[in-house]
A and B are shown apart, each in its own frame.
Chain A
Amino acid sequence: MRNFILFIRRFFNLILFLVLEIICIVLIARTNTMQGNDIMSSANTAIGLLYQKQSDVKYYFGLKRMNDSLLNENARLRLMLSQKTETYDTLADSSVRVAIPSRDTNVKVVQYADYTYHTAKVINNSISAANNYITINRGTDDGITKNMAVISGSGIVGRVEHVSKHFASVLSVLSVKQKVSAKLKDGTTGYIEWDGEKADVLVLKDVPQQIKVKKGDSVFTTSYSFFPQNILIGRIFKVAYLKKNNLQLLYLRPSNNFRNMQYVYVVENKMMPERMQLEDSIKAK
């Protein structure tokens, strides 16, 4: 026993060093398995508040840019509205049966929709890490839960990973541990990945060579993933052929500019819990 205590006293520093390093490695390993731990993220309240203050300062410098992006988005929405007014009741054909509560009780019209959009302001953003996170100023109080999709006016952004009462941190598409299901305009599906290097290059893998792809073709989200269908991901700027397995790699520029996001939409899919339950029940068998 005495020898043991002497041993500990002699190598106390080394033992403490090893213990701390092991704690670090356990923490790293836990976050890499997607579940993560909510305490150690920028979504916790203290850090969220600090980032909120910082964002308030930066807000004024970005007003011009934000105005431009809002104008562009308004223009796009007006265009969509003008196309939709002809065929107004297409939403009723949706297979989904969740009614949107109407504010006006005199009108007995029931509308159906899959998705609810919550606006959120980006209060912290990074593009230089291997897994980039975005902190937004909406949390459980605003109805945000884990695994909701996040999009911006121009394209996809990411997936909610940690939520606190007033903040949430979003794992961006610019992350080496997250793949997003994507399709070309003819319906060929594949996965979008990020190679971890440049913020304006995404890769669409596993497209057979017989599919003819041109530069400038658009790539959209599919209904397989947590994102809503048919949201623009980006445009192809380079096509590379792989001789060894007859597949081609498509490099695309994301349509969303990750460097200067100001506002995003968190998409709540009302049918998602039911769908997840069904898919999990199949996996459990």
Chain B
Amino acid sequence: MSIYLRNFLRFCLIVALQVLVLDEISLRWWTAPAGFPVFVPLIYPLFILLLPFETPVWLLLALGFVLGLTVDSFMNTAGVHACATVLIAYLRTNVLHALLPKHLSEYPNQSPGVKNMGWVPFLVYSSFLILLHHIVYFTIEIWSVGNIGYLLLKILASAATSILFVIAYLLLFTRQVSARN
């Protein structure tokens, strides 16, 4: 399967998962939330994280913007998701440079993944960017520092859940791809 087609399909799959399934389940960490925020796990930043190593930064930014706007239109939050996604798309290359032993051009036709990065570097890479994405997203959405404890709780709870969902996604879909290659 060509790399363009695969990424296009992944875009559709991840957006569909996000807006049709995950947005429907408002999670809580326990059943009677005494002041504990209701939140939705966001896995769509994973699309940006899984683009091939050699993707130029301008393309990352453009794709991040399109992805953000698509999710925004579904959730009626014009621009908020796009703002956070463009930021992580911009920082992605720098984070990869910092984490990988070799230069990015030495990984031709490969995408960041557990196979070629190992579990720990990949989790550091994805958790860092997802946490950053959530911080920007929830800060813009809630837009008040009056209740900073609530804001932090919401960011941490949803980032932790999103990362769990990202791991679940990887466990579900990586083996399939490696079997085909």
Contact = CB atoms under 8 A, between A and B. Distances in A.
Interface in A9-59: 12-13, 16-17, 20-21, 23-28, 30-31, 36-37, 39-42, 44, 47, 50, 54, 58
Interface residues of B, number: 39
B69 interface: yes
A259 B35 CA distance: 17
Given A12-B58, A198-B33, A129 B150 contact: no
B26 A127 contact: yes
A13 B86 CA distance: 12
B69 A126 contact: no
A98 interface: no
Contacts of A40: 69, 72-73, 78-79
Interface string B102-146: 000000000000000000000000000000000000001111000
B45 interface: no
Contact of B39 (A44, A50, A128): A128
A133 B76 contact: yes
Nearest to B27: A128
A150 to B, nearest CB: 15
Contacts of B72: 27, 40
Interface residues of A, number: 38
Contacts of A77: none
Contact of A47 (B62, B73, B143, B150): B73
B96 to A, nearest CB: 14
A130 interface: yes
Interface in B3-60: 19-20, 23-24, 26, 33, 35, 37-40, 57-58
Contact of B83 (A24, A39, A199): A24
B38 A199 contact: yes
B73 A42 contact: yes
5 contacts: A24-B68, A40-B72, A128-B40, A133-B76, A197-B147
Interface of A: 12-13, 16-17, 20-21, 23-28, 30-31, 36-37, 39-42, 44, 47, 50, 54, 58, 126-131, 133, 169, 196-199, 259
Interface of B: 19-20, 23-24, 26, 33, 35, 37-40, 57-58, 61-62, 64-65, 68-69, 72-80, 82-83, 86-87, 90, 140-143, 147, 150
Given A31-B78, A197-B150, 8 more contacts: A12-B58, A20-B86, A24-B82, A28-B79, A28-B80, A42-B74, A42-B75, A42-B76
